[in-house]
């Protein structure tokens, strides 16, 4: 099925499905329907049941059980949109067979090179088939690799009825990259006892811990007057912003943290004398440390308001929480994934996610949902890549989970 999977993935990544921040409607971009409608027809063609897409671009479908055993209904979830962080328009994937471990020249004219010195993780894929772009767009393996894996696994199970399995539900969501993929996910309609997102990275990953996350909007109101007569009158909002930024912990930033360490991350600055806007994301795995970070921001803004005549406003919004709280009580769902990964000759890897997935929100909506590897690396950039063998391994993991589920005693 290797060539079939490659063909499917290349078809998917050539369709631009980039989502957009700051849009109220879901999906945030109509072009996400371009791929989703194709997927719907594909699911019908390969023989899935209950295939439907709603007005918000959520796809759901069913692979009916082919056994009389009573088995819990499980689900698999991926997202069709790609990140707004880097353009996805006009993606031209490149396929590098039998990768030799050397740098890959993505775009000779632009001098864009995927270097092993910068991305040493590439070396684990020597001898495999690497898929990149031409350096001018992101690839979209996040999460079209996940979509490819789920569709391919369902097709494989349909074509191999000798593999017994219970009922499986699948869903493809829009707008995950802008934090809204779970907003209109109908958990009750989905009808699974638990699910897995196919949205991780290297082969073997099974993740059930992620950041607690918040978003801070800090607006600073200055006072603009003519600089020629500004003495004791002008208030430059940008200077206040600079002072405020320097009060945040300089070591608690993404570029200086790893593992379970949290951070404050300044994502944007937009300002002039009259008004400056700062946008931060706040992250921590530990709930108490997460609360402390939010309190630190609140106290800092209050302190600056006493110094600068209440010119600063803060809007602090929780985005998602650590799914470990909801998954640890049902750890057998992680154990099943680990068993499947091990059975395929891979070593299960359970590092904490330094981010979030649809699964984190779905877990708090009543659908425990750990995250399984999809294979891609360097997401959200022109240097994104994936090995074909990783996509195949993830597809086989889905099939193996279904097989293990059927062989277990659920009475």
**Tokens, residue 92:** 């031209």
Q: Can 3 be counted among the known catalytic residues?
A: no
3-state secondary structure at position 35: helix
Annotated catalytic residue 209: no
Helix pair 141-159, 388-407: axis angle to 10 deg: 50
**Which one of the listed residues 81, 219, 284, 384 is annotated catalytic?**
81
Gap between the Cα atoms of 253 and 67, Å rounded? 51
Burial class (CB in 10 A: 0-12, 13-18, 19+), 161: exposed
Cα–Cα distance for residue pair 35/300, rounded to 1 Å = 45
Annotated catalytic residue within 176, 199, 252, 358:
176
143 upstream amide cis, omega within 30 of 0: yes
- How is 225-292 classified by DSSP, letter by letter? --GGG-TTT-B-HHHHHHHHHHTS-TTSSGGG--TT--EEEEEEEEE-SSEEEEEEEEEESSHHHHHH
Catalytic positions, written as ranges: 81, 176
């Amino acid at each position: 099925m290797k060539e079939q999977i490659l063909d499917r993935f290349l078809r998917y990544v050539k369709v631009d499905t980039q989502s957009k921040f700051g849009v109220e409607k879901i999906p945030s971009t109509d072009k996400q329907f371009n791929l989703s409608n194709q997927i719907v027809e594909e699911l019908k063609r390969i023989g899935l049941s209950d295939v439907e897409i709603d007005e918000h671009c959520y796809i759901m479908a069913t692979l009916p059980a082919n056994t009389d055993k009573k088995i819990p209904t499980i689900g698999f979830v991926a997202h069709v949109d790609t990140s707004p962080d880097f353009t996805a328009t006009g993606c031209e994937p490149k396929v590098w067979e039998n990768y030799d471990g050397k740098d890959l020249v993505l775009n000779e004219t632009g001098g864009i090179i995927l270097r092993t010195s910068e991305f040493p993780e590439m070396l684990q894929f020597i001898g495999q088939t690497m898929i990149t772009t031409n350096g001018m767009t992101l690839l979209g393996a996040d999460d079209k690799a996940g979509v490819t894996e789920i569709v391919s696994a369902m097709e494989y199970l349909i074509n191999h009825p000798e593999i017994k399995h219970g009922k499986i539900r699948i869903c493809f969501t829009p707008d995950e990259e802008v934090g809204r993929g779970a907003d209109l996910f109908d958990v009750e309609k989905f009808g699974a006892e638990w699910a897995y997102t196919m949205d991780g990275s290297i082969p073997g990953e099974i993740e059930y811990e992620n950041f607690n996350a918040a978003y801070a909007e800090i607006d600073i109101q200055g006072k603009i007057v003519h600089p020629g007569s500004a003495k004791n009158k002008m208030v430059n909002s940008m200077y206040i912003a600079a002072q405020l930024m320097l009060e945040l912990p300089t070591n608690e930033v993404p570029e200086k943290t790893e593992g379970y360490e949290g951070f404050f991350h300044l994502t944007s600055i937009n300002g002039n004398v009259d008004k400056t806007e700062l946008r931060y994301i706040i992250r921590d795995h530990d709930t108490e440390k997460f609360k402390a970070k939010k309190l630190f921001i609140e106290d800092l803004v209050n302190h600056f308001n006493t110094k600068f005549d209440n010119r600063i406003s803060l809007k602090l919004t929780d985005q998602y929480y650590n799914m470990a709280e909801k998954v640890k009580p049902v750890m057998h769902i992680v154990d099943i994934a680990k068993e499947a990964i091990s059975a395929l000759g891979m070593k299960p890897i359970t590092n904490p996610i330094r981010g979030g997935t649809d699964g984190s929100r779905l877990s708090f909506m009543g659908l425990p949902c750990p995250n399984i590897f999809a294979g891609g690396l360097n997401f959200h950039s022109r240097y994104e890549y994936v090995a074909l063998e990783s996509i195949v391994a993830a597809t086989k993991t889905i099939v193996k989970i279904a097989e293990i589920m059927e062989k277990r005693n659920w009475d």
